[in-house]
């Protein structure tokens, strides 16, 4: 077997060109029919059921997943399994999106009459405008392509790209129509980076109780350093008898005082503390704490409750452990 590098590159570029053109050709087909498809999905009281055989089925699974994660409850049902019992999963309150390039998939066509008798709305994504699927559908989204990227014009390539593009177009239009926000997306992706960023609050990652370093303003320098060493956050808060924050002293402050030749043996906490510490509310997003640390080049932030009292501290390592940063 010989490998022609130039031919490989040529075929790759030709494939991308053909598939890009297949998507561009869809633009002229975005009209009232597409709007009607969106309106039908928005009107559904149940779920969107996506169906397709073979490669169209793989595309269908992706479309169902995209819809589900962007505010439109959806699931994939295999047409062959549907005709052997799984059709019972589809109710009259649902809507079916059926995908087939030819529109003549035998397994799909078997269940279409049953869906019509149930009164299930049907959106077809097909390249066969006069196909059985198109005739059964309430709305047809034309996914026909001039040719496949496959040199044999056999393997579904450009046609599946067009199908996927229609699915994405539907998902994005529905997302906007539903007023779907980044926070909504995060709720369905709690394990992802976006989910952690938008769902993790300061209260979820902060240190609290005895883990919070704090001293009163008359504490000796020795007591100050003991708190910094014991709590391992490189800082300690200076608080009033009512637990309101008066200031902060960090290991960075210590280095600066030593560089200035300051005599630290007889000083109290109130004499060396920084009186304008960075603070954050307990109910704020942890991502905001990360942003504050980056903006002000600090590694810890004091956390205040709704009464402006010290209730915790967040260290950069806490945010890293929670994978917020």
Q: Map out the domains of the chain with their CATH numbers.
A: 5-180 (3.40.50.10490), 202-321 (3.10.580.10)
List pLDDT tens digits, range 44-71.
999 999 999 999 999 999 999 999 888 8
pTM of the predicted protein model: 0.69
- The per-residue pLDDT for 190 is 62
Q: Read off φ and ψ for residue 289, nearest 5 degrees.
A: -65, -40
- The per-residue pLDDT for 307 is 94
- The per-residue pLDDT for 97 is 97
List pLDDT tens digits, range 248-278.
999 888 888 888 888 887 889 999 999 989 9
- The per-residue pLDDT for 189 is 61
Does the structure show a pLDDT above 70 at 191?
Answer: no
DSSP string, 191-258: TSHHHHHHH-BHHHH-B-GGGS-EE-TT-BHHHHHHHHHHHTSSEEEEE-TT-BEEEEEEHHHHHHHH
- Of the candidates 287, 277, 278, the one whose C-alpha atom is nearest the C-alpha of residue 202 is 287
pLDDT band at 151 (very low <50, low <70, confident <90, very high): confident
N- to C-terminal Cα separation, the chain: 48
pLDDT band at 134 (very low <50, low <70, confident <90, very high): very high
Mean pLDDT of the chain: 91
pLDDT average, residue stretch 120-141 = 96
**3-state DSSP assignment of residue 272:** helix
- The per-residue pLDDT for 35 is 97
Percent of the chain having pLDDT more than 70? Answer: 96
- The per-residue pLDDT for 132 is 95
- The per-residue pLDDT for 179 is 87
pLDDT band at 181 (very low <50, low <70, confident <90, very high): confident
- The per-residue pLDDT for 149 is 92
List pLDDT tens digits, range 284-293.
989 899 999 9
DSSP letter assigned to residue 121 = -
Cβ atoms of residues 51 and 122 within 8 Å: no
Say how far apart CA 86 and CA 76 lie, in whole Å: 11
Q: Which of 110-119, 166-175, 189-198 has the lowest mean pLDDT?
A: 189-198
pLDDT band at 171 (very low <50, low <70, confident <90, very high): very high
Q: How many CB atoms lie within 10 A of CB 259?
A: 8
- Of the candidates 196, 163, 155, the one whose C-alpha atom is nearest the C-alpha of residue 60 is 163
């Amino acid at each position: 077997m010989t490998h022609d590098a130039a031919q490989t590159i040529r075929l790759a570029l030709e494939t991308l060109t053909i598939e890009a053109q297949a998507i561009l050709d869809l633009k002229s087909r975005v009209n009232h029919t597409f709007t009607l498809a969106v309106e039908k999905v928005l009107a559904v009281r149940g779920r969107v059921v996506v169906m397709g055989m073979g490669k169209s089925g793989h595309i269908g699974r992706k479309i169902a997943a995209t819809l589900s994660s962007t505010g439109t409850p959806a699931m994939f049902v295999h047409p062959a399994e549907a005709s052997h019992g799984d059709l019972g999963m589809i109710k009259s309150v649902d809507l079916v999106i059926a995908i087939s390039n030819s529109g003549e998939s035998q397994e799909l066509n078997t269940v279409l009459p049953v869906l019509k008798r149930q009164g299930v709305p049907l959106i077809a994504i097909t390249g066969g405008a006069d196909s059985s699927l198109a005739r059964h559908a309430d709305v047809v989204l034309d996914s026909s392509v001039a040719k496949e990227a496959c040199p044999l014009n056999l393997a579904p390539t450009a046609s599946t790209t067009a199908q996927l593009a229609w699915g994405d177009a539907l998902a994005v239009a529905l997302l906007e129509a539903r007023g779907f926000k980044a926070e909504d997306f995060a709720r369905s992706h709690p394990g992802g980076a976006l989910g952690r960023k938008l769902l993790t609050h300061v209260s979820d990652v902060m240190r609290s109780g005895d883990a919070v370093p704090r001293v009163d303003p008359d504490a000796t320098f020795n007591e100050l350093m003991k708190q910094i060493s014991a709590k391992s956050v490189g800082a300690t808060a200076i608080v009033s008898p009512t637990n309101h924050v008066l200031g902060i002293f960090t290991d960075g402050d210590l280095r600066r005082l030593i560089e200035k030749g300051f005599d630290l043996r007889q000083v109290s906490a109130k004499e060396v503390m920084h009186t304008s510490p960075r603070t954050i509310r307990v109910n704020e997003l942890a991502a905001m704490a990360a942003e504050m640390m980056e903006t002000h080049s600090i590694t810890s932030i004091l956390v205040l409750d709704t009464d402006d009292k010290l209730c915790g501290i967040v260290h950069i390592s806490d945010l890293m452990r929670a994978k917020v940063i």
